[in-house]
Amino acid sequence: MLKVGLLGAGRIAGVHAIAISSNTGSTLAAVSDYFPENAEKLAAQYGSAARSTEDIIADDSIDAVLIATSTDTHSDLIEAATQAGKAVLCEKPVDLSLDRARACQKVADKTGKPVMIGFNRRFDPNFGALKVALKAGEIGKPELLAITSFDPAPPPVEYIKVSGGLFRDMMIHDFDMSSFIMGEAPVSVMAAGSSIVDPEIGAAGDVDTAVVTMTYADGRIAVIKNSRRAVYGYDQRVELLGSEGLLQAQNMLENTVVKSTADGVTGAKPTYFFLERYMPAYSAEWNAFVEAVNSGAPMPVTLADGITALAMAEAATRSAQTGSPVRLEDV
């Protein structure tokens, strides 16, 4: 039985607590939060104990930690937990700073302890099925990838100010998805960003609408579209054109009812947001982590994958600011 400490008791920690306690091979041994009352509340729901982050990391009976704290704490906690001999699943992104993330990787690598980064979308059954079909050669050689990722509504500006910006906070998922599907990182990144949804986001120095075009060494192309607002719900689609066909992963809908009348044909909206859409993916992600820790197999998503996605976000941020393409090797 894997004894797990959950660091952070906020929004996403609540989701992970469900996954940890639902897996018959793991148990939620302790929960911490910067605000102890948050930890107590979450721990109580699962018959777990609220403790300090330092206590959990120092406890040799705890085998693994799941880091679900604010992004600016991730590198420090990955280092501390791996140095204390624990396996780690850490939420995305690895850090707000690419240099800090790279330094963290060196420290974690030295310990030899496994670290997985929480790119949960790799475990979404739809995107997973698309990847299986691609690998089976069903559309030949992939040539053009298009990822659409729109949130239903923007977060508060207070969140935007500490998020690291759209490319590091939001599009990071799509950067990782592009690497997952294309099997490698691009050589060049070109970005355009704008704050047309909420001018306050622009005033805070961020964008809320962005398009990124990436080119690969062999000439393949990927396009990512992000918006912080889609009034019809969480729009999460992937389309891949290959030499022998097209693969499309469509949205999950609130229900499958389609109404056809003399006025037209209507259907349900996409599920509202990430908690609704990706709940099965968060569980599958945790199950894959437990399996890899127990079997000693490589982590299905590595710290290096997290740093590659962060480098792509850094390149996109620079490109959007300068209007010029940025080569990945230059960041």
Q: How near is the Cβ of 103 to ligand NAD at its closest, in Å?
A: 18
Q: How near is the Cβ of 278 to ligand NAD at its closest, in Å?
A: 6
Question: Which residues sit opposite 83 in a β-bridge?
Answer: none
Of 276 and 329, CB closest to ligand NAD: 276
Of 92 and 113, CB closest to ligand NAD: 92
Q: How near is the Cβ of 269 to ligand NAD at its closest, in Å?
A: 20
Q: How near is the Cβ of 172 to ligand NAD at its closest, in Å?
A: 8
Query: Does 120 contact ligand NAD by CB under 6 A?
Result: yes
Query: Does 271 contact ligand NAD by CB under 6 A?
Result: no
Q: How near is the Cβ of 121 to ligand NAD at its closest, in Å?
A: 8
203 closest CA partner among 160, 263, 243:
160
User: Which value, in Å, is the radius of gyration of the alpha carbons in the chain?
Assistant: 20
Please list every residue from 81 through 110 that binds ligand NAD, using CB under 6 A.
91-92
Query: Does 174 contact ligand NAD by CB under 6 A?
Result: no
Please list every residue from 184 through 203 that binds ligand NAD, using CB under 6 A.
none
Q: How near is the Cβ of 37 to ligand NAD at its closest, in Å?
A: 10
Q: Which residues of 63-96 are buried (b: 16+ CB within 10 A; e: fewer)?
A: bbbbbbbebebbbebbbbbbebebbbbbbbbbbb
Query: Does 274 contact ligand NAD by CB under 6 A?
Result: yes
Q: Could you tell me how many residues of this chain bind ligand NAD (CB under 6 A)?
A: 23
Distance of CA 124 to the CA centre of its chain: 11
Please list every residue from 2 through 61 that binds ligand NAD, using CB under 6 A.
7-13, 32-35, 38, 53
Of 100 and 220, CB closest to ligand NAD: 100
Phi, psi angle pair for 251, to nearest 5°: -70, 155
**Distant-in-sequence, close-in-space partners of 5: CB < 8 Å, separation ≥ 6:** 29, 30, 31, 32, 51, 56, 57, 59, 62, 64, 65, 66, 86
Of 41 and 102, CB closest to ligand NAD: 41
Q: Judge whether 280 and 124 are in contact, CB under 8 Å.
A: yes
**Distant-in-sequence, close-in-space partners of 248: CB < 8 Å, separation ≥ 6:** 130, 237, 238, 239, 240
Query: Does 164 contact ligand NAD by CB under 6 A?
Result: no
Query: Does 122 contact ligand NAD by CB under 6 A?
Result: no
Residue nearest to ligand NAD (CB): 10
Tally of helices (H runs) and strands (E runs) in the chain = 12, 15
Query: Does 79 contact ligand NAD by CB under 6 A?
Result: no
Task: Return d(Cα 90, Cα 108) in angstroms, integer.
Answer: 12
Q: How far is CA 275 from CA 131, 208, 237, in A?
A: 23, 21, 16
Q: How near is the Cβ of 80 to ligand NAD at its closest, in Å?
A: 10
Of 56 and 247, CB closest to ligand NAD: 56
Q: Which residues bind ligand NAD (CB under 6 A)?
A: 7-13, 32-35, 38, 53, 68-71, 73, 91-92, 118, 120, 274
